[in-house]
Amino acid sequence: MSTISAAAYEIPTEFEDFRATIAQMVRERVAPRAHAIDADAEYAWDIRELFAAHDLFALPFDESYGGTGTGHLMQVIAIEEVAKACAASALMLAVHDLGSLPIRLEGSQEMKKRVLPRLATGEWVPAFALSEPEAGSDPGAMKTRAVKDGSDWILNGSKNWISQAGIADVYVVFAVTDPQQRHSRGITAFLLERDRTGFTIGKPEHKLGIKGSPTAGLSFEDVRIPPQDLIGKEGRGFGLAMATLDRSRLGIAAQALGIAQGAVDYAVGYACERRQFGRPIAEFQGIQFKLADMETRTAAARELLYKAAAKADRGEADLGKYSAMAKLFCSDTAMDVTVDAVQVLGGYGYVTDYPVERMMRDAKITQIYEGTNEIQRLVVARALVTAGTR
């Protein structure tokens, strides 16, 4: 007879209390701003200051660096709550995690003490620079180079699709330091502060969704990086990038989950109020079944995400597979649920006076960034094959 295993995850009372605080903040301060943030394509500095004041940027960090020490599960809960109302604002939290993870994983003690406390307070904004114009899903094909010049490094090349480009204070940049190594080997990670000579930001991209989060390219022309700003070991950057994404894609899954739940909640409220043929449309079976499927998929996505986040907190070996499954399922759910929400609202769902069209536009990117869903399927399949051949 097998023993009963430990719970997949457990949400402590203090997490639920914090969730309630965040939910109230979102209702009162974030939701009223969401339409304008999207319409004006503005980075909401007021929302950022609000999050900093309530320690939301401290969530990814250990207490020794000024963080809350609450781990990945609380982080995804926070992102989910914010994304119910504004996906662009939720991305502030997700990218804060992504941009700081390489430092937390492999940064020197000197670097951690210098950088992490300023990130934990929200004083500094981080960014993660891996993708290039010809190296998106295949980062091993990157062309950005860093060569030694005495004890310093000289960086040349470009990056593309960088979230928070132009507003970030520090960038984690990946570059090839040994071109003779085989594909994906010989890549090194560096910390780059925004005021380095030769470092420039491109024009912001005009995007379908998450318009309140700036995205742009980066260019490096003979940028000098001191030796203390190397992250981890020389030539081990690719592994660091993959270890980072195994954890950070949980934030994108949480963003997608929040978008889906926000769309469900709005569609249900609308269906209960909207009357056709003399009664609320929520009384029609066609609408009821659609709402039931939307809520069921969203609930299932939450269970998978929370389990994956708990695995990240426990450091379990199959985290990569579970984070890929969570990102895949949550983002596909967000896309399907928001399309259905637009359908429930009918013509009103298609106009900007109602939030579900924004939710649908925001949902699409969750299937693309931090690893397309095609790549997530590859990650899951390879994990299955590897386990099957042992």
- Residues classed as catalytic: 370
Rounded to the nearest angstrom, the gap between the alpha carbon of residue 117 and the centroid of all alpha carbons in its chain is 21
In angstroms, what is the C-alpha Rg of the chain? 21
Interior angle at CA 26, CA 34 and CA 269, nearest 5: 75
Q: Are 104 and 116 in contact (CB under 8 A)?
A: yes
φ and ψ of 318, to 5 deg: -90, 20
In three state form, how does the secondary structure of the chain look?
CCCCCCCCCCCCHHHHHHHHHHHHHHHHHHHHHHHHHHHHCCCCHHHHHHHHHCCCCCCCCCHHHCCCCCHHHHHHHHHHHHHCCCHHHHHHHHHHHHHHHHHHHHCCHHHHHHHHHHHHCCCCCEEEECCECCECCCHHHCCCEEEEECCEEEEEEEEEEEECCCCCCEEEEEEECCCCCCCCCCEEEEEEECCCCCEEECCCCCCCCCCCCCEEEEEEEEEEECHHHEECCCCEHHHHHHHHHHHHHHHHHHHHHHHHHHHHHHHHHHHHHCEECCEEHHHCHHHHHHHHHHHHHHHHHHHHHHHHHHHHHHCCCCHHHHHHHHHHHHHHHHHHHHHHHHHHHHHHHHCCCCCHHHHHHHHHHCCCCCCCHHHHHHHHHHHHHHHHCC
| Cα gap 280→350, rounded to integer Å | 20
Q: Are 83 and 257 in contact (CB under 8 A)?
A: yes
